[in-house]
Amino acid sequence: MSLDVVILAAGQGTRMRSGLPKVLQPLAGQPLLAHVMDMAAGLDGAHLHVVYGHGGDRVPAAFPDARCSWVEQASQLGTGHAVEQAMPGIDDEATVLVLYGDVPLVTRETAVALVRSASRGVALLTARLPDPSGYGRIVRDADGRVERIVEQKDASPEERAIDEVNTGLMAAPARLLRDWLSRLDNANAQGEFYLTDVVGLAVNDGVAVEAVESQDAEEVMGVNDKIQLAEAEAGIRRRRVEELMRQGATVADPGRLDIRGEVTCGQDVFLDVGVVLEGEVRLGDGARVGPYCVVRDCEIGDGTTVHPHSVLEGARIGSGCSVGPFARLRPGTELSAGARVGNFVEVKNSQLGEGSKANHLSYVGDTTVGRDVNIGAGTITCNYDGANKHRTVIGDRAFIGSGVELVAPVEVGEGATIGAGSTVSKDAPPEALTVARSRQMTVKGWKRPVKGKT
């Protein structure tokens, strides 16, 4: 039996107070909807159908590579109506799992349990909440069987006192679900076709309704405003930090580490406070990241230290390197083993060979640096002529003095020395000293300008 997952993502989300559709609000570096789609795509054999409405084509346009069917709900007439829009693309023999684009923390394990329970009829995901306000209540009969779901606005005072709530997630055989959807009416306070009314129809038809109770109220939390969005962010952060610690990371303060992507790490990794990890990040054994660093789409080798307040993006850093403090590594940076990039140094689209170092106040762009090279303080590779980028090549064991400008395209030979303060615009030969300075001159009797008297 196949599995079709219908994700409802058509809501307007007025409480977000945003021009961005609710399901595109950012959560841990991705749109809300992306978290639900990623989880659903991990279910065995799942076919995804995403029902969108508010925001129009902005929603599918945000996922150009998504492997799913996009279904437009032109008029938002309720959750039952939304699911019905997706049913023409679903085979009668399938199981249908209904998820919500604004309920991003549901785990794969919970989804699998719900689908398995649907083999016996309708399966609902429920939760018991200390404050069930706003949720539909699960009404049971005298024998404890699910009888129906009543929405908050339609509930009596006695029904509102029930603490078991409907999370909205449901699984059912497609053939039965198709029939129930066709029999829904909108005789309720909202004037909408509720998906939850399927439960009452199933009971009336003698079909089993099984409640699968979530043991984690956090995973069923819906996100309707910026406060709940922040709460969901905290929930994802906690999950990801705990997973990283299980892999072998020591985290100085789990509440002050942000993970907004896929992070893997080796043993004895240390992450200090205020670190932000984004995209795909790999941390080798013994790697250390100091306070208030941002690391995005990087690989950091064994035993490498990233010192405080550094920003790294798209960099590949070998073992035993030292970066920062206050360093910036831009995309295309590659550091070989033992390389050093110090304070207020920026490196972009460049390779530093083994043991090479740029320790202070330098810019290294579009440059190939050999091994055991010293780049002095204040050195700049002048790689841009206003229209095109040009490359600098520095050979093994070269020594670049302080305050040097290397005007690309230019090559510095192996073992060459460039005198401090030089502007080098022609190739510097290997194993020789190159100095390119203007002649120093002293003007005797020269007076500094002074402000005129007023």
Q: How many CB atoms lie within 10 A of CB 272?
A: 20
Residue 307 appears among annotated catalytic residues: no
Q: What dihedral do alpha carbons 237, 243, 212, 116 form, nearest 10°?
A: 130
Pairwise CA distance, residues 270 & 252, whole Å: 8
pTM for this one? 0.86
Task: Classify domain 3-220 by CATH number.
Answer: 3.90.550.10
Which positions of the chain have pLDDT values less than 50? none
pLDDT the model gives residue 153: 87
Cis amide linkage into residue 325, ω under 30° from 0: yes
Q: How does pLDDT run across 359-389, given as a tens digit for each residue?
A: 999 999 999 999 999 999 999 999 999 999 9
Residue 340 half-sphere exposure, CB side, CA atoms within 13 Å?
Answer: 16
240-434 shares the fold of 3-220: no
Longest dimension (CA), the chain: 108
Close Cβ partners of 276 (under 8 Å, ≥ 6 residues apart) = 258, 260, 293, 294, 295
Pairwise CA distance, residues 337 & 318, whole Å: 5
pLDDT the model gives residue 454: 67
Query: Into which CATH architecture does domain 240-434 fall?
Result: 3 Solenoid (2.160)
- Which of these is catalytic: 54, 309, 360, 390? 360
Q: How does pLDDT run across 230-269, given as a tens digit for each residue?
A: 999 999 999 999 999 999 999 999 999 999 999 999 999 9
pLDDT the model gives residue 56: 79
Q: Where are the alpha helices (DSSP H) in 205-281?
A: 226-247
Q: Where are the domains of the chain?
A: 3-220, 240-434
pLDDT the model gives residue 34: 96
Q: How many CB atoms lie within 10 A of CB 54?
A: 17
- DSSP 3-state of 334: strand
pLDDT the model gives residue 452: 81
Angle CA(180)–CA(186)–CA(188) in degrees, nearest 5? 120
The single residue listed with the structure tokens 């305050």 is: 403
Angle between helices 174-182 and 79-86 (to 10 degrees): 130
pLDDT the model gives residue 217: 86
Query: Are the beta carbons of 209 and 145 closer than 8 angstroms?
Result: yes
pLDDT the model gives residue 119: 83
Separation in Å, CA 296 to CA 57, 123, 260, 274:
29, 40, 9, 14
